[in-house]
Structure 1
Amino acid sequence: MIKRALILIEGHRTSGSLYVRAAKQLGLNPITLAANPACYNYLGVEQVDAIHVNTDDLEALLRECSRLSANYDIAGITGFADFDESVLAIVADLCQWFNLPGPSPVSIRRCCDKFTQRQLLARSGIPVPAYRLAMDVTEAERSAAQIGLPVILKPAVGSGSSGVRLCRNPDEIREHMSYLLGGVHIWRSSPRILVEEFAEGPFYSVELMGDEVVGIVAVDFGSPPHFVFRGTAFPAPLGDDEYSLIADVSLSCLRALGLGWGPANIELRWTERGPVVIEVNPRLAGALEPQLVQLAYGIDLITEHVKLVIGEGWDLRKRFSQNAAARFLVPDGDGKVDWIHGEKLAAAVPGVVEVKLYVDCQSPIVKKGDYRDCIGHIMAVSPSVAQTQVILDSAAHLIRWSMTPLSSP
């Protein structure tokens, strides 16, 4: 009997293994196509078939999928945006080519371009920060003057907060533009920079599947000028009116962008003028939000997404109600890890469900101001928000590390 396969384009360091396990539980054979399969450690642990292919090349992916179809019944294709959101558009192209369930490639592409996304949201009357597009330092400075300092500078295409910075004065604008355009930041398309108003207020991440709001996550960041996740909590402590308004705005975003198939994640801030949409992502969130939803509500968004990908029915019913949260471990500076202790002690704290370290001893740590700054995480669950935070505090206190400063070049 021919095996049914789930094709996974690229991988993800926190949710990639969960997709692999979900596929196996559904009787599928997961096969990963990646430009560098070796960078996803879980592939070996989970004994996943992995094929080296240029995932920027649609023709190469079409050839490889066609070759695999000779030996497998390809039940579905999906992928990840750990490094590059353009993967999402290519996945949509592949689904369309092989007549498999998937989102609209046009909708995905215009959503992944943050400038185009802002335009479409604003035209639909959805509150977004004031914004401009800049190609060089002069345009960035002029845009910032029109918007008013401080401003956020970010690549128009990207993910994981890579290249995102709060700039409080012209010197910081020039410094960050030099970083973005000076060959340090890696561009996968022509350099285009979004200059936008800094919307101040609590940050929330809305998790949706199809056209249904599953829940809202509260997010904490580290200190500016960068936006590195320090903690997430689900469900967010919101009143009924706040929740309803955020949910309504989120569904309006889907309509404005032509989304509504599969997962989506909408990031916003609650400001003096109510919810202001920072970003719409046509995918599951990457900072452990799907895991928190499962811990708190018993809804496995990853498994339900795979069901959708292979054309099966899904189930988003809440099984129970708990409070789940994650704490990210972030070093204060650069260096080489001499030792890191306490992982097992932290994992033994009642209420802790996972402690995971992303680095080993002797690993070099060079902070980038994005998701790569995190060296591990802790997840916990309990009946109350306060109790869950106490559990995380206790566990985080047990994990210690020592780093030697990196030698100057």
Structure 2
Amino acid sequence: MTTQDGILLVIGIGSQKDRDSRPYREYLLSAAAQRFKLWLFDSDEPTWQNEYVVGATALNCYDPEAVVEAARALAGKHRLVGMFCPDEGTLLSAAHVTEMLGLPGMSVDTVLGCRDKKLSRARLTQAGVRQPQFATVRSAEEALEEAERLEYPVVLKPRTLGSSLGVVKVSGPQEMADAFTITTSAVYPGVHVPDDYIIEQYLDGPEISIDGAVFDGEYTPLFVGRKQLGGEPYFVETGHYVSAGDPLLTDTEILDMLQQAHAALGITHGTTHTEVKLTSRGPVIVEVNGRLGGDLIPYLGKLATGIDPGLIAVDVITGRRPVIEQAHAKTLGIRFLSPAEDLRVESITFGEPGALEGIVQLAAAVPPGAELRMPPGDFVARYAFVVAEGADEDECAKRLDAAESLVHLDYEPLVTRS
């Protein structure tokens, strides 16, 4: 039920790169609709979103000028109270609208500071936040020179992309040329990729993520995701675990680091997704994203804790201090099923869970006809995902194993012609 006056502008709910956006975004849109009436800006006319919005405008959401013009026209008819955007590709356009309306939220400078790893590395280092040593390079030859200084292994990555797109571990000079080609070929809709690329020290240890909220400059963690990765040299995310009682939620060293990092990036109101490596020399920030995490991590957090990330996100950008209280304590896990070869999906079917315990969701990630390619052809090629609940990560893993056996993929191999 809508409890406040005004219209909340939402952008980017349907932008999900060949995927059905509903499983990934409906939980956020439905939460936002509990606070305000919603108007949607997106690249296509709404379908399932119609249940939650009072109006919609189809336009090029990757064009800040077009989005600002449309928002200005909308503001002439309705009182706009905020700008909610969960999508990286449209985040910069949303920031331009936030500034134009003079509302709390991510500014253009904070979005660029989070997105551009060269800027964020510099700002965080200046603030004394622990960072890997890094440099920017424009050629494989420059990368070889910097790798000698940094010492192998190193990591190559685009300056402005997320989701591990174009991120490659390089263990020796003989791998550099191919790795540089992969990194420089990575793209994402709506995100400009500069022609200098990041090369940095490889960080040992497991990787986690923390989704958090910032209100009046004060950072509060919401959920910790324990990230599962595929094989090297890529950093493809294959799944996550979220536990309500994760001890890192109260780790003072990590919390102090996160508060410092968000202050250094100028974030005063918003929700963020920070990736951290738990290295042998302590926690090190990999990156801070100016939006909630992808891969349904916030959804797992909602199921694990009862904290609704959509409500929190809307509250902090509309001047309402969020109430962050756990309603229950569970452990949830998600696993993404990816192809073992390049293929075209013919069908995805699911067996009945039957007596299997703890299975929360089995879902297709792409429609029939979708073409999926293994890295480096694609870094987020998935045909299905499974979600399970358990007493801990080990029990979740066993239940995910059982659930995975219920998913059957029929496909046609894609043959690359030379």
Question: Which residue type is aligned with residue 229 of structure 1?
Answer: E
Residues paired across the two proteins, number:
400
Report what 1:354 is aligned to: 361
The answer as to whether partners of 1:8 and 1:79 remain within 8 angstroms in 2 is yes
Deviations 1:178-213 (A, max 9, x none): 2444x6746724322000111011111112111112
- From 284, 308, 312, the counterpart of 2:320: 312
Report what 2:176 is aligned to: 173
**Structure 1 residue runs of 4+, over 6 Å off?**
44-48
- From 192, 195, 211, the counterpart of 1:191: 195
1:115 positional shift? 1.0
For 2:130 and 2:244, the matched residues in 1 are separated by: 21
Moved more, 220-229 or 119-128: 119-128
**Distance change in 2, residues 1:408/1:390 (3 Å):** closer
The answer as to whether partners of 1:221 and 1:229 remain within 8 angstroms in 2 is yes
For 1:348 and 1:96, the matched residues in 2 are separated by: 53
- From 200, 204, 208, the counterpart of 1:204: 208
For 1:276 and 1:69, the matched residues in 2 are separated by: 42
The answer as to whether partners of 1:218 and 1:236 remain within 8 angstroms in 2 is no
**Distance change in 2, residues 1:337/1:126 (3 Å):** same
Report what 2:106 is aligned to: 103
Determine whether 1:76 maps to 2:82: yes
- From 165, 171, 174, the counterpart of 1:162: 165
The answer as to whether partners of 2:224 and 2:242 remain within 8 angstroms in 1 is yes
- From 32, 36, 44, the counterpart of 1:23: 32
Question: Which residue type is aligned with residue 358 of structure 2?
Answer: G
Determine whether 1:55 maps to 2:61: yes
For 1:251 and 1:326, the matched residues in 2 are separated by: 28
* Seq. identity, %: 24
1:267 positional shift? 0.8
Deviations 1:216-238 (A, max 9, x none): 22111011111111121112886
**Distance change in 2, residues 1:252/1:348 (3 Å):** farther
Aligned-pair Cα RMSD in Å: 2.7
TM-score, structure 1 normalization: 0.88
Give SS of 2:405's match.
helix
**Distance change in 2, residues 1:274/1:189 (3 Å):** closer
- From 301, 310, 318, the counterpart of 2:309: 301
**Distance change in 2, residues 1:23/1:224 (3 Å):** same
Question: Which residue type is aligned with residue 200 of structure 2?
Answer: E
1:52 positional shift? 2.8
For 1:132 and 1:245, the matched residues in 2 are separated by: 26
1:100 positional shift? 2.1
The answer as to whether partners of 1:331 and 1:375 remain within 8 angstroms in 2 is yes
The answer as to whether partners of 1:269 and 1:276 remain within 8 angstroms in 2 is yes
Question: Which residue type is aligned with residue 332 of structure 1?
Answer: A
**Distance change in 2, residues 1:156/1:359 (3 Å):** same
1:311 positional shift? 3.1
**Distance change in 2, residues 1:347/1:24 (3 Å):** farther
- From 360, 364, 370, the counterpart of 2:371: 364
Give SS of 2:241's match.
strand
For 1:336 and 1:348, the matched residues in 2 are separated by: 32
Question: Which residue type is aligned with residue 144 of structure 1?
Answer: A
Question: Which residue type is aligned with residue 226 of structure 1?
Answer: Y
For 2:250 and 2:323, the matched residues in 1 are separated by: 26
For 2:96 and 2:170, the matched residues in 1 are separated by: 37
